[in-house]
Amino acid sequence: MPEVDRAAANRAAIAARRARADLKHRLRSGETSPLKVLEQAQTPGTPAASLRITDFLLSFPSIGQVKSERLLEELAISDRKRLGGLGRQQRTRLEGFVRRRLGTDAAGDRPPLTVLAGPTAVGKGTVAAYIREHFPEVKLSVSATTRRPRPGEIDGVHYFFVDDERFDRMLAADELLEWATVHNKYRYGTPRGPVVQAAERGELVLLEIDLQGARQVRASMPAARLVFLAPPSWDELVNRLVGRGTEDAEERDRRLETAKVELAAAEEFDEVIINDEVPRAAARLVELMRGER
Ligand SMILES: Nc1nc2c(ncn2[C@@H]2O[C@H](COP(=O)(O)OP(=O)(O)O)[C@@H](O)[C@H]2O)c(=O)[nH]1
Ligand SMILES: Nc1ncnc2c1ncn2[C@@H]1O[C@H](COP(=O)(O)OP(=O)(O)O)[C@@H](O)[C@H]1O
C-alpha cells in the first residue's frame, strides 16, 4: 500500500476506534439506549455496527465478564462477533434479551413495574402491607434479606431470609435486579426472576425498596415507574420514627440525618404520593398502577 494510503487508513482506523469508545461511554452512562444501538448497527459502517458484542453486553450495569460469557452461550453468539455481523436470529435473540432487561416488553405501554421508595419511617412498609391485604391483584415483590426474621414474619411471604453466603451466591449468579446495604446493616435485594416474569404476564408489580435500590432500578430498567412516598411534614416524619419505637435515640438521630438527604431525592421520581392516611395513599398508588390517573 502506498505511504499516503496507509496513513489515511490509519487515521480512519483511529477515528473508528474513537467513535466506538464514545459509543461505549454513552451506552454505559445511559445517554444512548441499547435498543437504539441495535437499530443503528443494521447500517454498515456505523460505530454501532463495528461494536463488539462483548463490549455491548459489558455496558449494562451489573453485567461483568463472567455473565457476558454465559449470556453469549445462551444466545448462541460467538464472543468475536460485532453487532453489525449478527445473523437475523441472533439479532432477534439479542433484542429479546435487551427488551426483557430494560422492561420494555411488558403488556401494553404500562410500566413493567412500580417502585415505592421514600425516607425512613414515612410508612413504606405500612402502605405496602395495606396493599398486600386489600389489593390482591398487586403482586408485591418478596425481597431477599440477610437480617433475621422478626416474630410473625414468614419466610417467602415477607422476605426470603438468607445468610450472607446465600446472598453472595445470588449476586454472583446475577439473580438480583437491585440490592443495597440498608441502614449500614443488612443486605436486601430484589430477586429478578419473579418480578420480570410477572411483568411479562402484564401483572401489576410493586417493589417496596430503599432509595439506593430505586436508583439502580432506574438505571437498569428505565421503563420502570418510580413513586416517592412523602410525609405530610417534617415533624410528622419525626413523630412516626419516634412513635415506631424500634430504634434507640442515637440510631434515630442518625436516620433523621439521612432522611433530610432522602427527602431531597423526591425530584428524581416520576410521582410523589403524600402518606397522609394509609388507605388513601395506598389507593392512590394502586390507581396509578392501574393507569386510572
Ligand atoms: N434496596 C432494597 N431495599 C429493600 C429491599 N427490601 C426492603 N428494603 C428496604 O429495607 C429497609 C428495611 O426494611 P425492614 O427490614 O422491613 O425494616 P424496617 O423498615 O425498619 O421495618 C426499608 O427501607 C425497605 O424499603 C430490597 O429488596 N432492596
Ligand atoms: N399515614 C400514616 N399515618 C400515621 N402513622 C403512620 C402512617 N403510615 C405509617 N405510619 C406509622 O409510622 C411508622 C413508620 O412506618 P413504617 O411503615 O415502618 O415506615 P418505613 O417502612 O417507611 O420505614 C409506623 O409506626 C407506622 O405505624
Tell me which residue has cell 496507509.
6
Report the pocket of ligand 2 as residue ranges, CB < 6 Å. 120-126, 240, 243-244, 275-278
Can you tell me which atom of ligand 2 is nearest the CA of 276? 1
Domain residues for the domain of 230 are 114-290
Q: How many domains does the chain have?
A: 2
In a domain, 263, yes or no: yes
Give the closest residue (by CA) to ligand 2 atom 1. 277
How far apart, in Å, do the first and last CA atoms of the chain sit?
Answer: 67
- Residue closest by Cα to atom 18 of ligand 1: 125
**115, 120, 126, best to mutate for ligand 2 pocket (most atoms within 8 Å of CB):** 126
Cβ neighbourhood burial of 66 (10 Å; 0-12, 13-18, 19+): exposed
What one-character DSSP code corresponds to residue 265? G
Q: Are residues 90 and 212 in the same domain?
A: no
> Is 96 in the same domain as 128?
no
3-state secondary structure string across 31-59: CCCHHHHHHHCCCCCCCCCCCEHHHHHHC
Shared domain check, 157 and 29: no
- Kindly state whether residue 176 falls inside one of the protein's structural domains: yes
Is the minimum distance from the CB of 149 to ligand 1 under 6 angstroms? no
DSSP string, 108-161: TTS-S-EEEE-STTSSHHHHHHHHHHH-TTEEEPPEEESSPPPTT--BTTTEEE
Specify the residue with its C-alpha closest to ligand 1, atom 19.
125
Pair (88, 132) in one structural domain? no
The CA 209 to ligand 1 mean position distance, Å, reads 5
Of 217, 258, 5, which is closest to residue 101 (Cα–Cα)? 217
Q: Are 68 and 58 in contact (CB under 8 A)?
A: yes
Residues 68 and 170 grouped into a single domain: no
Check residue 104 and give its pLDDT.
66
The residue whose C-alpha atom lies closest to atom 8 belonging to ligand 1 is 209
| Residue from 150, 227, 240 whose mutation best tests the ligand 2 pocket (most atoms within 8 A of CB) | 240
Q: Are residues 49 and 125 in the same domain?
A: no
pLDDT of 108? 54
Closest C-alpha to ligand 2, atom 15: 123
Considering the domain architecture, whether residues 160 and 280 belong to the same structural domain is answered as: yes
End-of-domain residue from the set 54, 75, 102: 102
For residue 225, the cross-strand partners are: 114
Digit-by-digit pLDDT tens for the chain (293 residues) are 677 788 888 998 999 999 999 999 998 877 788 999 999 999 999 999 999 999 999 998 778 888 899 999 999 999 999 999 999 999 999 999 988 787 766 555 678 899 999 999 999 999 999 999 999 999 999 999 999 999 999 999 999 999 999 999 999 988 999 999 998 889 999 999 999 888 888 899 999 999 999 999 998 888 899 999 999 999 999 999 999 888 899 989 988 998 999 999 999 999 999 999 999 999 999 999 988 76
Ligand 2 centroid vs 134 CA: distance in angstroms?
17
Q: Does residue 223 share a domain with residue 121?
A: yes
Distances (CA, A) of 103 to 127, 219, 223: 25, 11, 6
pTM for this prediction: 0.76
| Binding site membership of 119 for ligand 1 (Cβ less than 6 Å) | no
Compute the distance from residue 6 Cα to the ligand 2 centre, in Å.
Answer: 70
Residue 221 in contact with residue 205, Cβ under 8 Å? Answer: no
Nearest-CA residue for ligand 1 atom 16 is: 125
Q: How far apart are CA 24 and CA 40, in angstroms?
A: 14
Are 203 and 66 in the same domain?
no
Q: What pLDDT score was predicted for residue 18?
A: 93
